[in-house]
Amino acid sequence: MVCAALALLLAAAGAGCHAQPATSSQPLNAAVSDFGVSFAFSPPICAGCVETELGFLSLEDGRYAPAVITVAPSWLHGDASVLANVLDSEAPGPRRITHFGNRLDFAIRSKVLDHNGLVLTLAPWGTAFIRGIQGGRAGAVALPQYTRGNNQLVAEFSLTGAVGVSAGNPRTDYVGAFDYTRAVGQRGYAFFAGFQHEVTAGEQTLGLEQGMIVPFRNGQVELAAQELTLNTDPAMQFQARAVVNWGRVLERRRR
């Protein structure tokens, strides 16, 4: 899981949380966030760490580079993340348009329960649109997680509301996401699969995902294929992302 530090500088991006209209093919913030494998973000919170994530996402004619920075200072008793698409490239017409993403997302996570493999993390969530759409979004996310042996179940329940309702900023957006992860061996390799249900502006969409985690020193690479909007206009999304824990790197150098 990614602790956020580069996101405060780079900001907030695609697929979940999720302020896109249900009819849009744009990625949701959840699907391109740093928070864990998949749609949902996943504990643990890494106290004292700085973590970054940089990814590549392909959805129809769109190409995106989601980035996240997470910081977890000791006084916060949690971590803070900023998410953004540092590259947003689309070809809606004969000409491809490439620019920085139009939104920044902010989350502050706090672990409120940790007992016998059950962890509950809560996070207020905010979104600021930086062009094209007026206003922003505010809400909260609940993240229960249960781990037993090599098996892990993670869920995300997110509800946000518009600060200034518009065509691109619906009044309410609810997302429920569920992920199962199975660790393989002792080095951190894992496979995962998930399901997502979203209700935006009264319209419902369903999505599936599957992927794998490949560890490396002080981080991991996550590869995923996601089938979005299955009940309306099915679309395939592919993404790869690299997560690096810089806190551990710096600690090793000091020694």
Q: Does 92 score more than 70 pLDDT?
A: yes
Helix (H, G, I), strand (E, B) or coil at 247: helix
User: Cβ distance 150 to 185 under 8 Å?
Assistant: no
User: Cβ distance 42 to 35 under 8 Å?
Assistant: yes
Q: Does 100 score more than 70 pLDDT?
A: yes
Q: What is the pLDDT of residue 84?
A: 87
**Exposure class string for 192-228: b at 16+ Cβ within 10 A, else e:** bbbbbebbbeeeebebebbbebeeeebbbebebebeb
Q: What is the pLDDT of residue 133?
A: 83
Q: Higher-confidence residue: 14 or 119?
A: 119
Least confident of 21-35, 119-133, 230-244: 21-35
Quick check: bond before 44 cis, omega within 30?
A: yes
- Summarize the confidence of residues 112-130 as an average pLDDT: 92
pLDDT in tens, 52-62: 888 898 888 88
Identify the band that residue 102 occupies on the pLDDT scale cut at 50, 70 and 90.
confident
Q: Which residues contact 194 (CB under 8 A, 6 or more apart)?
A: 37, 38, 39, 40, 177, 178, 179, 180, 208, 209, 210
What would the two tokens of residue 128 be? 């600021």
Q: 118-129 and 103-115: which strand pairing?
A: antiparallel
The domains located in the chain, with CATH, are: 7-254 (2.40.160.40)
How many percent of the chain have pLDDT more than 90?
27
- Give pTM, 2 decimals: 0.80
- Summarize the confidence of residues 140-155 as an average pLDDT: 92
